[in-house]
Structures are given as structure tokens and as C-alpha cells.
Amino acid sequence: MNNDNKVNAVSLGIGFQFNNDIQIESSELFANTNADSVKIKHLNENYVLEKTKNGKLILKK
């Protein structure tokens, strides 16, 4: 994917700090949509966070 073609899907102001831990609701990560997955880029690596039918989360590389 060419970086020139990137469009921000959503602007997220999410999470809060509690006892020095940052906590984010999974519904905020999924932007309150019915999406089953979220793509995450971390240190130039691509990951997919998926919701299962049982309500669990799986992080895949």
C-alpha cells in the first residue's frame, strides 16, 4: 500500500489511565461498529485483532 493513498478511517480519542495502566474498551478499538477485525500496525509490522463468535479476542500476525 502506498502511504500517499492512506485515509484516516476514524480519529480515536480512546482509553483512560487507571493506576498507571492505560485501559481501552475493545468496543472503542472496533469504533463501535459490527466489524469482526481491526488492523494494527506496530513497529512496521502488521497485525489483525479479531473477535471470535465466543466473544474472545485473537491477535494474529
As to burial, measured by CB atoms within 10 angstroms (0-12 exposed, 13-18 middle, 19+ buried), residue 30 is: middle
Q: Give the C-alpha separation, 15 to 24, whole Å.
A: 4
Q: Which of 34, 33, 32, 29 is nearest to 49 (CA)?
A: 29
pLDDT band at 1 (very low <50, low <70, confident <90, very high): very low
Q: Which residue has the higher pLDDT, 16 or 26?
A: 26
Q: Cell numbers at residue 43, please? A: 513497529
Lowest mean pLDDT among 11-20, 32-41, 43-52: 11-20
- Are 25 and 13 in contact by the 8 Å Cβ rule? The answer is no
Q: Which residue has the higher pLDDT, 36 or 18?
A: 36
For the chain, which residues make up each domain, given as ranges?
3-60
Measured CA to CA in angstroms, residue 14 lies from 8, 22, 28 at distances of: 15, 10, 6
